[in-house]
Amino acid sequence: MLFIVDMKVNLPPDMAPERAVKLKADEREMAQRLQREGRWRHLWRVAGSYANVSVFDVESPEQLQEAISSLPLFPYMDINVRAVCRHPSSIHEDDR
C-alpha cells in the first residue's frame, strides 16, 4: 500500500540544542534505515520549511503507523496521511 505522508517538525523553542542535535541524528539514521528496507520509498524536503513530503510503501496502515511512530521526531510532528494507488493512465510500470 502506498501512502503520501506530509510531516512538519515543530521542535520546542526551549529545547536544549544538544537534545535537538541528537534527535535529528537519530531521525536521519532511522529514515535511512526505513529507506534501505524499502518502506520509505521517497523523501523530499519542502522548500523553506522544516517539513517533508514522503511516500511510504508498506503492507498495511498498521505498518505505516509503526514506521512513523518509531521516528525520534514523531512527538514533535504534525502529520497528514493520504492513501494512494496507481493511476490507470500512468506509464510507469513500477507504480504500485
| Domains of the chain with CATH codes | 2-84 (3.30.70.1060)
pLDDT at 96: 63
pLDDT at 94: 74
- Selection from 42, 17, 28, 41 nearest residue 71 by Cα: 28
Residue type, 91: I
pLDDT at 16: 97
The stretches in the chain having pLDDT less than 70 are: 95-96
pLDDT at 42: 95
pLDDT at 93: 79
**Taking the model in full, what pTM does it have?**
0.90
Residue type, 95: D
The gap from C-alpha 54 to its chain's centroid, in whole angstroms, comes to: 5
- Selection from 20, 24, 4 nearest residue 83 by Cα: 4
User: DSSP assignment, residue 46?
Assistant: P
